[in-house]
Structure 1
Amino acid sequence: MSYDTEHVRNAGNGPAMITGLPTFTDLLTNANLAELYTAIRQSPGVTAPELIDQVAVSKKTVYEYLHRLERAGLISETENSGGTSAYDAEEFELTLTIRGIEITITPKLVAVIAQSDEYPIIKRVCDEHGFVTFALAHDLINAHSDGDVTIRQIGTLTDLSHGTTYDLVEALYEIHDLGGDDPSPTTYTPDDVVDDDLQSELADE
């Protein structure tokens, strides 16, 4: 049976059993939970004992998080051989619209949040400026790696200071392995982003 209502769209056999929706938002504030989900997503079929060796939380917390993620529909048990369960992560997109701004939470963003302990600038931006600003900066930094925007433009669009912007650019370049062999972000000058005609006009003035 398919559904297409105001709040639920489903092309499967019925409404999925998804509970614990707060777990979705916890992925954005709990780096350990985000790390566990990301570890499962990157290693389909991983078992709980394997996860215990990979993440920085206790055995008890791993099982607690696995239960929460499974109840939220974010992971599923793929086999249970000899009492050992294996897990796969479910792909998802959670789109919210607040005050006319639409933001989509994806596993790619969760994977970045998972590294906020290693890169404190991520947590600082989320805490001080909000997740929407972080998500916007994340996308603009990807555009920066393609030469489409400058660090100054990212700071202006996100209202982040130049220092904070540069620190975040540097962190995301490392996380996403942007910029080829050069680990440092490229800083573009006005000559790189202003066309020749405009440069001539500015010179005439």
Structure 2
Amino acid sequence: MSYDTEHVRNAGETPRTITNIPAFTELLDNTDLAALYTSIRRAGTMTGPELVETTPVSKKTVYDYLHKLEQAGLISQVGDDAGTAVYAAEEFELKLTVRNTQVSVTPELVEIVAHEDEYPAIQRVLDDSGLVTFALAHDLVNAHSEGDVTIRQMAELTGLSTGTTYDLVEALYSILDLGDDNSAATTYTPDDFDDEESNLRHELFDE
């Protein structure tokens, strides 16, 4: 796997290069760190004391994580509340390339990683198939929710078994709140492959 560090950038209005790549990669491997970053991003802004109250890790760990994320350029101090630092999450994109397949790691993917302990399918795909396959599957789940690909096509493109693909889709539908009250991953019935579907992998990877 190659980490295209030249393109690991803050994706805001004034992009900055993300520093400290080890801290960044830990964000993808440490569910507590991913959850803390996601909490800040979801809330818009948060302080250390607020995070201590809402996260399951110790006070010391919260502040260690805040320091690590700030040093890596993944969060920044945006204000002061009665002497307490106020933090906001930075947007970013990391491009990963493996065997000529390129996928992007984004805050949305980090949010999924934060749920790894809750959904065995997420942990199974990450452990058995790696981050690139997981990131590709994440992209395809969004396409699946729009009716653009089937479970069977997703399995073909990612190399996952149909059962694992289905379990992963079900998990991500739940986390991302995809569909509406009357729909879920189970409502999309895969069609049989036709002659054009053999070109789907090439179309995705050539873009």
TM-score normalised according to structure 2 size: 0.80
User: 1:166 is matched with which residue?
Assistant: 166
Once the 2 structures are TM-superposed, how far is the Cα of residue 18 of structure 1 from its aligned partner?
Answer: 5.2
Q: Indicate if the aligned counterparts of 1:31 and 1:114 stay in contact, CA closer than 8 A.
A: yes
User: 2:150 is matched with which residue?
Assistant: 150
Once residues 151 and 28 of structure 1 are traced to their aligned partners in structure 2, the CA distance between those partners, rounded to angstroms, is 25
CA-to-aligned-CA distance 1:73-117 (integer Å, 9 cap, x gap): 111112234331110111111223343222221111111111112
Whether 1:121 and 2:121 are equivalent positions in the alignment is: yes
**Bigger relative contact order (CA 8 A; separation at least 6):** 2
User: 1:188 is matched with which residue?
Assistant: 189
Aligned length: 186
Structure 1 range deviating more: 73-82 or 33-42: 73-82
Aligned-pair identity (%): 58
Query: Which runs of 5 or more residues in structure 2 are unaligned?
Result: 196-207
Alignment of 1:15-54 (within 5 A): 19-54=19-54
RMSD over aligned Cα, in angstroms?
Answer: 2.6
Q: Secondary structure at the match of 1:79?
A: strand
Whether 1:79 and 2:79 are equivalent positions in the alignment is: yes
Q: Secondary structure at the match of 1:56?
A: coil
User: 2:176 is matched with which residue?
Assistant: 176
User: 2:137 is matched with which residue?
Assistant: 137
For 1:187, the aligned partner's letter is Y
Once the 2 structures are TM-superposed, how far is the Cα of residue 17 of structure 1 from its aligned partner?
Answer: 7.9
Q: Secondary structure at the match of 1:160?
A: coil
**Whose Rg is larger?**
1
Once the 2 structures are TM-superposed, how far is the Cα of residue 41 of structure 1 from its aligned partner?
Answer: 0.8
Query: Which runs of 5 or more residues in structure 1 are unaligned?
Result: 1-5, 196-205
User: 2:107 is matched with which residue?
Assistant: 107
For 2:176, the aligned partner's letter is H
